[in-house]
Structure 1
Amino acid sequence: MITQQTLDFITEIKENNNREWFLDNKDKYQLAYDNIVQFTGDVLKELSKIDPLVDAHTDPKKCIMRIYRDIRFSKDKTPYKHWIGIHKLSQGRYAAGIGYYMHIEPGNSFVGGGYWMPEGEHVKMIRQEIDYNATDFKAIVDKSSFKKTFGEFRDQEQLKTIPNGYDADNENISLLKLKSFAAVHQLKDAELKKIDIAKNVAGVFKELYPLLGFLQNALV
């Protein structure tokens, strides 16, 4: 479970995003970090029961994104992120760009996955896979439990024009015009603090698992 102390720290660093405050409150950060490590380990154990590409023994620290921002090329010079990201739960066993993700931020937490904004060549390969195996793909994203969890998959950002090589009257054009192939499920703060949140998160990832498999097949 995510503790209220962890959520409070994330809120406080958003309000006090400077090195002096962070150093004075390093103990709060360590407590929050340790909580996230424990939580991530619990998620890995649950998810490994669903996805054979996830190893329950993965070091959870390797899945937690650094809190330090890269400000070299950013106009925003605040040094710290005001959220905690958890990714690479499969430790590179999926093709680059495909994976699970969790974002922890009071009032804006979510679980998601798939492939967000893939590069040009990967987009072409995924579109081709959707075109060839549209029935299989729609069975995943149009499944009632998938829609209940993530909403309408086609509501993601789409091209304003028809992608090269496809016709406007293609019955699956709304899927072929997608720029991303990802799904997101929002989480309330109260849900994060429940004792079974790791199991619930894994349940959301279970709905994503077939999507990741389809995308993986498109790129191999």
Structure 2
Amino acid sequence: MDFEALFSFLEQLQKNNNKEWMDTNRKWYKSLRAQFIQWLDDLDYTLAELDEEYYPTPGKKGINRINNNLMFHPHKPIYKDHFGAGLDKAPNSADFYVEVGLKQCLLAGGFWRPDPKTLRSIREGIDYNGEEFQAILDRPSFKKLFGGLYDDEKLTNAPKGFSNNHPHIALLRNKTFGVEHVLKREDVFQPNFKDKIISVYQEMLPFRRYLNNTVSV
């Protein structure tokens, strides 16, 4: 994957964020998209070899659209400033997300503001066995890579059906159960970039598997 060309394309796109420019440069975009999909396919194969529970996700299935959803976010620019994809993308599961972009490059996973049913299942899982989840979050190696749960909106009080005195009330108040590891742009160009992705994937795996177990029962 020619990441130098990818960043160059994104920089030009953000300076000319309109359909006319994209139409003129669509061959450039399609060439980079095809490269990115091929790169994702290789990563998908590698992760499947490492994780027996991995859900095969070809690059074409995992890659996100470069268009922003203007129906729900009308004030956003037409096109995104990054290439992103979700891997290990089983239905109703916490996938593994890869983003390479201008504002940020990151590796992430979990559930971002899940629907009420999924959120309820996660909270019930924490109610049943929050000690295991907290132990995952408290691992020094986990904290080093992710810090903690993604900082998003939280409830002021306990969710319905739970007490404010619950031993895991701080976790239960969360609306998002995800983590992210921010990368530097230089990391993307390093020969060991793929190895870094693998190490982050493996460290995140118990976290994602715990969440997936709560929503699969």
Identify whether the pair has TM-score above 0.5, normalized to the shorter chain.
yes
Q: 1:74-116 deviations in whole A, cap 9, x for unaligned?
A: 42374322211101x2242xx4152111122123111100111
Return the TM-score normalized by structure 2: 0.89
| Letter of the 1:151 counterpart | G
Residues 12-31 of structure 1: matches in 2 within 5 Å?
A: 12-31=12-31
Alpha-carbon distance, 1:160 to partner: 1.1
Q: Please say if residues 110 and 187 of structure 1, whose CA atoms lie closer than 8 Å, have aligned partners that are also in contact.
A: yes
Aligned-partner Cα distance in 2 for 1:55–1:168: 37
CA shift in 2, pair 1:154/1:172, >3 Å: farther
Q: Which runs of 4+ in 1 moved over 6 A?
A: none
Say whether 1:90 aligns with 2:92: no
| Letter of the 1:62 counterpart | K
Aligned with 2:96: secondary structure?
Answer: strand
Q: 1:196-219 deviations in whole A, cap 9, x for unaligned?
A: 212211221111211121112111
Say whether 1:217 aligns with 2:213: yes
Return the TM-score normalized by structure 1: 0.88
1:69 corresponds in structure 2 to 68
1:208 corresponds in structure 2 to 204
Residues 113-124 of structure 1: matches in 2 within 5 Å?
A: 113-124=109-120
Aligned-partner Cα distance in 2 for 1:13–1:107: 13
Aligned with 2:95: secondary structure?
Answer: strand
1:171 corresponds in structure 2 to 167
CA shift in 2, pair 1:42/1:3, >3 Å: same
Q: 1:29-68 deviations in whole A, cap 9, x for unaligned?
A: 1332133123212321232133323356x43222111223
Aligned-partner Cα distance in 2 for 1:3–1:52: 30
Say whether 1:34 aligns with 2:34: yes
Q: Percent identity?
A: 30
Alignment length (residue pairs): 216
CA shift in 2, pair 1:77/1:163, >3 Å: closer
CA shift in 2, pair 1:138/1:78, >3 Å: closer
Aligned with 1:153: secondary structure?
Answer: coil
Q: Please say if residues 83 and 99 of structure 2, whose CA atoms lie closer than 8 Å, have aligned partners that are also in contact.
A: yes
Mark the runs of 5 or more structure 2 residues left unpaired by the alignment. none
